Chains A and B, each alone.
Chain A
Amino acid sequence: MAEAVKSPGAPLLRLDKVAVRFGAGRDVLAGVSVAVQAGEFVTLLGPSGCGKSTLLNLTAGTLRPREGQIIFDGHPVTTINRDVGYVTQEDTMLPWLTLAANVGLPLKMRRVKRDEIRDRVMALLQRFSLDKAAHLYPSQLSGGMKKRGLFARALIYEPRLLLMDEPFAALDAQMRAQLQVEFRRVVRETGSAALFVTHDIEEAALVSDRVVVLGGGPPAGVVAEITIDLGANRDAETLRFDAAFRDIGRTLQDALRKARGDGS
């Protein structure tokens, strides 16, 4: 990491007037500024292809901006950011390792003692109700189990920020609803902040403290920022009948319409 530029009360993550271009084409993102406070749950909502995943890759350090900068914990991100956990859309379990070995891998690579790894892995697997599947290989797990395993692997080293790129996209509705709540609860317990990407309005309202709507363009930019004030403990079944939840849904829908360039 380069020179620290942290100041008291500064956000954990700050994307500052970021522009990104792929190849010789035009910018896909321009002038994007997003901040995430410690422990905050922020969702990036927007139509497909508007650059939501690109912002996660910038934060993880796997991509460099053409313009602007990314400040994480007071330091500019100029290389791979090992202080974040990242759950991508793809299945990134190592197929030759058991679930327990996959989840423990970050600790092993960080030279944590074997006994401690075992204890921490089993404790986390228990929290995700995966302890009975610890010895199984990824090919033996269901889609939902794999996804929970990937959450566990991203959380095992207690990153201060969890990046999640449409993690529930490939799951059926029931599994998705269950995991959304479970995931918010476990991340809250660990005290991590989260930057979450989705194009599902209900999902955004359910899991977030704040939603940043991206769109317009190209290049895309921030269209709206909406605070979701629904309390800390959320239950999907109850919230669906809550007037405030429905209002937020409508507000997000309007913002998303604007992001798509749909004037109606």
Chain B
Amino acid sequence: MNTDLAPGANKDLPASQEPASAPGQRTQVQKSVRLMVFRVGVLVVFFAVWWSTSGTLIDKFFLPSPVRVVQELVDWVKDGSLWRNILATLLPGLKGFVIATVAAFILGYALAMARFASDVLEPYITALYGIPIISIVPLLILWFGIGDELAVAVAVLASFFLMFYNVYFGIREVSPVLIDQVLIAGGSSWDIAWRVRLPSALVWVVAGMKVAVPHSIVGVVVAEFLTGNKGVGFLLASNANQFNSAGTFAAVVVLASMSFTLDRLLSLLTRRALSWKEATRPQ
């Protein structure tokens, strides 16, 4: 965003004007450390309970020990199948997400600006959104065959509506008073779109992305689960079919790790654009 009018303003200020004081920073660090300790604690407790119940309270066939799951993961790393399958899932997932986002932006922006058209189309969009993706997969197999195209198509469908609704409401909910103010101050329609509507919608869009990216991955996994011969979904299905619960759990761990990593990457990528949301009053 346009924060270029006061370059280096922070550097020029005396210490008393700095947004965060040293004690404030210390408290922040203490909070972060405390949070991290508790998060790690939850993980440790989770694994301890898992480890102690596997083979005692629950049969190892149904709940393998975490050590077995890690061994399975190590084997996949060693034979290279882990990265190969992660990439096989990730690439169509991201392709689908990008296609869905572009389409959602165009349609969401257009409908947010055309109230009558959005009123006309609203029942159809709501009806389409309600269709379970899995019920369309057979149709998609007919159209796209079995392969990457199918995975991409499922990923598009899985993430499109999430992005569409966020773009639509993000653009539509901009305060008309804000728009009038920018127009009076000399803004053009382009200024309204670029300097008001899009930045204003960005919070919604980022929130949508954080849900849509994992959904597009889930879409690919569903396609792989049903038809694939590669990808994490395939790993999941093939291990489950062979009653290898350790392999099935390992595939689930891989999926959870992928979702977590993508979420953190998205946060990192969008942090600068949303830095104003994190800004707090100087003490």
Partner-B contacts on A (CB < 8 A): 60-62, 80-82, 84-86, 88, 90, 92, 94-101, 103-106, 108-110, 114, 117-118, 121, 132, 134-137, 139-141, 153-154, 157
**How far, in Å, is B167 (CB) from chain A's closest CB?**
17
Asked if B177 lies at the interface with its beta carbon under 8 angstroms from chain A, I say yes
Contact check, A88 vs B177: say whether CB atoms are below 8 A apart.
yes
Asked if B184 lies at the interface with its beta carbon under 8 angstroms from chain A, I say yes
Contact (A109, B9) CB under 8 Å given A95-B276, A136-B19, A140-B281: no
Asked if B280 lies at the interface with its beta carbon under 8 angstroms from chain A, I say yes
| 17 A/B residue pairs, CB under 8 Å, sorted by A | A81-B184, A82-B186, A86-B181, A90-B177, A92-B181, A97-B2, A98-B9, A100-B6, A101-B3, A101-B4, A103-B5, A109-B191, A132-B17, A135-B3, A136-B282, A139-B276, A141-B281
Number of A-B residue pairs, CB cutoff 8 Å, is 106
Contacts of B280 in A (CB 8 A): 139-140
Q: Which of B219-277 contact A (CB under 8 A)?
A: 276
Contact (A101, B184) CB under 8 Å given A132-B17, A136-B279, A139-B281: no
Asked if B178 lies at the interface with its beta carbon under 8 angstroms from chain A, I say yes
Asked if B180 lies at the interface with its beta carbon under 8 angstroms from chain A, I say yes
Asked if B13 lies at the interface with its beta carbon under 8 angstroms from chain A, I say yes
What's the Cα separation between A107 and B222 when bound, in Å?
52
Q: What are the 7 closest A-B residue pairs judged by CB atoms, nearest first? A: A135-B9, A100-B5, A106-B185, A100-B6, A137-B279, A134-B6, A135-B6
Asked if B1 lies at the interface with its beta carbon under 8 angstroms from chain A, I say yes
Contact check, A139 vs B181: say whether CB atoms are below 8 A apart.
no
Asked if B10 lies at the interface with its beta carbon under 8 angstroms from chain A, I say yes
Contact check, B4 vs A109: say whether CB atoms are below 8 A apart.
no
Contacts of B182 in A (CB 8 A): 94, 105, 109
Contact check, B2 vs A132: say whether CB atoms are below 8 A apart.
no
Chain B interface size range: 20 to 34
Contact check, A140 vs B282: say whether CB atoms are below 8 A apart.
yes
Contacts of A97 in B (CB 8 A): 1-3, 276
Contacts of A105 in B (CB 8 A): 2, 182, 185, 195
**How far, in Å, is A83 (CB) from chain B's closest CB?**
9
**How far, in Å, is A81 (CB) from chain B's closest CB?**
7
Asked if B147 lies at the interface with its beta carbon under 8 angstroms from chain A, I say no
**Residue on A with the closest CB to B282?**
A140
Asked if B188 lies at the interface with its beta carbon under 8 angstroms from chain A, I say yes
What's the Cα separation between A137 and B240 when bound, in Å?
53
Contacts of A141 in B (CB 8 A): 281
Contact check, B5 vs A134: say whether CB atoms are below 8 A apart.
yes
What's the Cα separation between A194 and B70 when bound, in Å?
73
Contact check, A134 vs B181: say whether CB atoms are below 8 A apart.
no
Contact check, B276 vs A137: say whether CB atoms are below 8 A apart.
yes
What's the Cα separation between A110 and B180 when bound, in Å?
16
Contact (A106, B5) CB under 8 Å given A62-B180, A86-B181: no
Contacts of B181 in A (CB 8 A): 86, 88, 92
Contacts of B178 in A (CB 8 A): 92, 94
What's the Cα separation between A99 and B188 when bound, in Å?
21
Cross-chain contact of A135 among B10, B175, B184 (Cβ < 8 A): B10
Contact check, A132 vs B276: say whether CB atoms are below 8 A apart.
no
**How far, in Å, is A42 (CB) from chain B's closest CB?**
19
**How far, in Å, is B180 (CB) from chain A's closest CB?**
5
Contacts of B66 in A (CB 8 A): none
Contact check, B184 vs A96: say whether CB atoms are below 8 A apart.
no
What's the Cα separation between A99 and B5 when bound, in Å?
9
What's the Cα separation between A92 and B177 when bound, in Å?
7
Contact check, B3 vs A157: say whether CB atoms are below 8 A apart.
no
What's the Cα separation between A149 and B13 when bound, in Å?
19
Cross-chain contact of B185 among A90, A132, A134, A153 (Cβ < 8 A): A153
Determine which residue in A94, A96, A117 has the highest number of CB atoms from chain B within 10 A of its CB, and name it. Answer: A96
Contact check, A82 vs B184: say whether CB atoms are below 8 A apart.
yes
What's the Cα separation between A61 and B276 when bound, in Å?
31
